[in-house]
Chains A and B, each alone.
Chain A
Amino acid sequence: MAAIRTFVKNCQIINRNCAVLSPHVQKHGMSQYPSYYIEPVHKKEIQEDLIKSGEIQKLAHLPTKAARNDQSSSFRQDDLVNLFINYVMRNGEKVLARGLVEKAFENIKRIQLEKYHKCDDVEKKAKIELAPRVIFHQAVENCKPILALTPIKRGGVRYQVPVPITPKRSQFLSMKWLIEAAKEKDATMRFHYQLALELIDAANNKGRVVKRKQDLHKQCEANRAYAHYRWS
């Protein structure tokens, strides 16, 4: 599937002659399902909410897509973690990506437990976070930028203009920066260990990724004179 997508990306004919393709393909890309199929609801709590509110009556008789392999009703499932695993994945190697993220979580637990057992102060001990998913959510939250710079051309000159970004894009940038920071490592270091260190640092508002976000915000602040170029 991934091979077909890369082939399509590289295929110049399709890139150039998009208008020639049928409106059927243009509507929903390479999906195997017709457009009126709905996404499945795989979480039990959301299903129960739908039953309570009565919304389920509308969805019950609509044709539904099959659940994906990484979706289940277990409590171990986390949509944000699944998204992160997808961003880590290269060449469709989902098993490797999932293994790396799981090892990173294990490393987070080991590092935090070591700190916990070394610490003598009861108050400090209570503040050390031991759950890897909580640290992951906190790290992603702390690395989200609010503004970003886009190049806008006015009078032959390209200016870097600060613009607001959508929450989805912000979340994507946060996770992408975390993965890039984990890749900038010594050759002897493992990716999953570096990722664990980056996540712990980001959750404590320290480290490279938070610095990158703060640098971006500083640049936006410095370029605020060009903000009106958004509307010319």
Chain B
Amino acid sequence: MIKSFASEYIFRRAYSVLQCTRFSTASQPITESKLQSFRSEENDPLKHTLDHVGQFYRIPEEEKNIFLYGGLPKSFEIQAKTFNETCLMIRRPSVDVINCLKLIDYTKPTVRFVIFGKKGSGKSLCLAHILHYAHKARYLIVHVPWVGNWMRRCKEISSSETREGYIDLNIDAAAWLVHFKSQNEHLLNNPEFQISQDYVWSKRETTPKGSPLSELVDHGVNRLKYASECVVGLAEEIKHLSRSGHCKTLVAIDGFNAFFYPHTRVFKEKKEVVPPNKVTLTEAFLSLTKFDWNNAAIVTTVDEIAIAEQDHKSHLPRYLLRKEGFEHMDPFIPIFVDNYSPKEFTSCMDYYRERKWVRYYPQQNEELALLSVNNPYNLMHLCASL
């Protein structure tokens, strides 16, 4: 009796062990299971949750086109070229914003998010992750890659003809229109996107009411003289389209505080400083970030690097946005991007080692964590020479 019980038990145990070995990972080398711990299998930002925080996900080649004219920091683009892939880390602030975007009531006025954090903590990449989500969820994307390029490194200026005392940034406006067109190609083909009013540019040039939105964009690209006015007109049209329910919009602006910093590097003929409230482009994006429209969400970043070095005193939104900016944006949802948590730090170091960027030596993680203060940018610099 006991013998048969024992043999049955042994047989059942052996069978279950055999079943386990079919799916066991014990035979695979240790490096592969480490790979899976820092890489996520979920490459679709629509499905990212707090469980995926700390893991890297890969942006497929087709979807990288949204960043063709800007959106990813230069140092990150160089890293992506060296590593042969574009991988973003899924972090808590971006997942929080994405969850909010899924749950917002779009019939109510627009919700404004302000992402802030210390220098090099990952605000621009957080915005890039949100942009990828918006692209996948078929939002109409209005994305300004870096306001500092306009306020502190403008290509060309000219006096505005229609507005008294205003300055146009022609090349920058046209470049932005090209960027807008490339990000929203699949949506601009929609015949429902029509202009609601006539635009008279000069005696012979008009864009009539009812013509497609892409015509307005093309006019701005072809005629640099009217590019800034096109942008202002486009902003109004987008608000009108969202209000009437034709499309869901996401306005994403990196370095938003540059719109309120008075000491720009935009100079008139006699080296006079032009404040941002006298630049035509500012009008467009300040109107887009108001809460007088619905069916949209606004995500902005405030960054110390967008202003002059002598005023890099605090990373907090009230200081960076200044009085006018804060009154314009109030009420907003503040999103704090912190330095790496220990889990995120280990994940990042594992990724660098797997990509053969850094060679392992004993106590590497502890040493680099102390030297870089867990700051992502500092870590990138330290690992560059390792």
A binds B: yes
Tell me the complex Cα distance, A114–B84, Å.
8
Interface string of B57-86 (1 = CB under 8 A from A): 000000000000000000000100011100
Residues of A within 8 A of B384 (CB): 102-103, 105-106, 109
Q: Are A130 and B367 in contact (CB under 8 A)?
A: no
Q: Are A109 and B357 in contact (CB under 8 A)?
A: yes
Tell me the complex Cα distance, A114–B81, Å.
9
With contacts A109-B357, A130-B356 taken as known, whether A75 is within 8 angstroms of B364 at the C-beta atoms is: yes
Q: Are B386 and A76 in contact (CB under 8 A)?
A: yes
Interface string of B349-386 (1 = CB under 8 A from A): 00000001101011110010000000000000000111
Main secondary structure of the interface of A (DSSP, over half): helix
Question: Chain B's nearest CB lies how many Å from the CB of A73?
Answer: 10
Tell me the complex Cα distance, A102–B359, Å.
15
Tell me the complex Cα distance, A103–B82, Å.
15
Q: Does A116 contact B (CB under 8 A)?
A: yes
Question: Chain B's nearest CB lies how many Å from the CB of A117?
Answer: 5
Question: Chain B's nearest CB lies how many Å from the CB of A45?
Answer: 11
Interface string of A126-137 (1 = CB under 8 A from B): 000011100000
Residues of A within 8 A of B84 (CB): 113, 117
Looking at the complex, which one of A102, A113, A116 makes contact with B385 (CB distance below 8 Å)?
A102
Question: Chain A's nearest CB lies how many Å from the CB of B235?
Answer: 41
Interface string of A106-147 (1 = CB under 8 A from B): 100110011011000000000000111000000000000000
Q: Are A75 and B362 in contact (CB under 8 A)?
A: yes
- Specify the chain B residue showing the minimal Cβ separation from A132: B385
Q: Does A57 contact B (CB under 8 A)?
A: no
Question: What residues make up the interface of A, taking CB atoms closer than 8 Å to B?
Answer: 74-76, 101-103, 105-106, 109-110, 113-114, 116-117, 130-132
With contacts A105-B385, A110-B82 taken as known, whether A75 is within 8 angstroms of B357 at the C-beta atoms is: no
- Specify the chain A residue showing the minimal Cβ separation from B359: A131
Q: Are B356 and A116 in contact (CB under 8 A)?
A: yes
**5 A-B pairs in the complex with CB atoms less than 8 angstroms apart:** A75-B364, A76-B386, A102-B384, A106-B385, A113-B357
Tell me the complex Cα distance, A114–B362, Å.
27
Q: A76-B361, A113-B356 are in contact. List 11 more A-B contacts (CB 8 A).
A: A75-B361, A75-B367, A76-B386, A102-B385, A103-B384, A105-B385, A106-B385, A113-B83, A113-B84, A114-B82, A131-B359
**Size of chain B's interface in residues, with CB distance under 8 A?**
15
Main secondary structure of the interface of B (DSSP, over half): loop
Tell me the complex Cα distance, A105–B383, Å.
11
Residues of A within 8 A of B356 (CB): 113, 116, 130
- Specify the chain B residue showing the minimal Cβ separation from A110: B82
Tell me the complex Cα distance, A110–B356, Å.
11
Tell me the complex Cα distance, A145–B343, Å.
49
Residues of A within 8 A of B78 (CB): 110
Q: Are B385 and A75 in contact (CB under 8 A)?
A: no
Residues of B within 8 A of A113 (CB): 82-84, 356-357
Residues of B within 8 A of A106 (CB): 384-385
Q: Are A74 and B367 in contact (CB under 8 A)?
A: yes
Residues of B within 8 A of A132 (CB): 385
Tell me the complex Cα distance, A102–B382, Å.
9
- Specify the chain A residue showing the minimal Cβ separation from B85: A117
Question: Chain B's nearest CB lies how many Å from the CB of A181?
Answer: 21
6 smallest CB-CB distances across A and B, nearest first, come from A102-B385, A75-B361, A106-B384, A117-B84, A105-B385, A131-B359
Question: Chain B's nearest CB lies how many Å from the CB of A106?
Answer: 4
- Specify the chain B residue showing the minimal Cβ separation from A101: B385
Tell me the complex Cα distance, A189–B305, Å.
28
Question: Chain B's nearest CB lies how many Å from the CB of A42?
Answer: 15
Question: Chain A's nearest CB lies how many Å from the CB of B81?
Answer: 8
Residues of A within 8 A of B386 (CB): 76, 105
Question: Chain B's nearest CB lies how many Å from the CB of A125?
Answer: 11
Residues of B within 8 A of A76 (CB): 361, 367, 386
Tell me the complex Cα distance, A130–B82, Å.
12
- Residue in B357, B364, B367, B386 with the greatest tally of chain A CB atoms within 10 Å: B386
- Specify the chain A residue showing the minimal Cβ separation from B84: A117
- Residue in B83, B363, B384 with the greatest tally of chain A CB atoms within 10 Å: B384
Residues of A within 8 A of B367 (CB): 74-76
Question: Chain A's nearest CB lies how many Å from the CB of B370?
Answer: 10
Residues of B within 8 A of A114 (CB): 82
Tell me the complex Cα distance, A11–B343, Å.
60
Q: Are B363 and A75 in contact (CB under 8 A)?
A: yes
Residues of B within 8 A of A102 (CB): 384-385
Residues of A within 8 A of B362 (CB): 75
Question: Chain B's nearest CB lies how many Å from the CB of A129?
Answer: 11
Residues of A within 8 A of B83 (CB): 113
Residues of B within 8 A of A117 (CB): 84
Residues of A within 8 A of B82 (CB): 109-110, 113-114
- Specify the chain B residue showing the minimal Cβ separation from A116: B356
Tell me the complex Cα distance, A110–B75, Å.
13
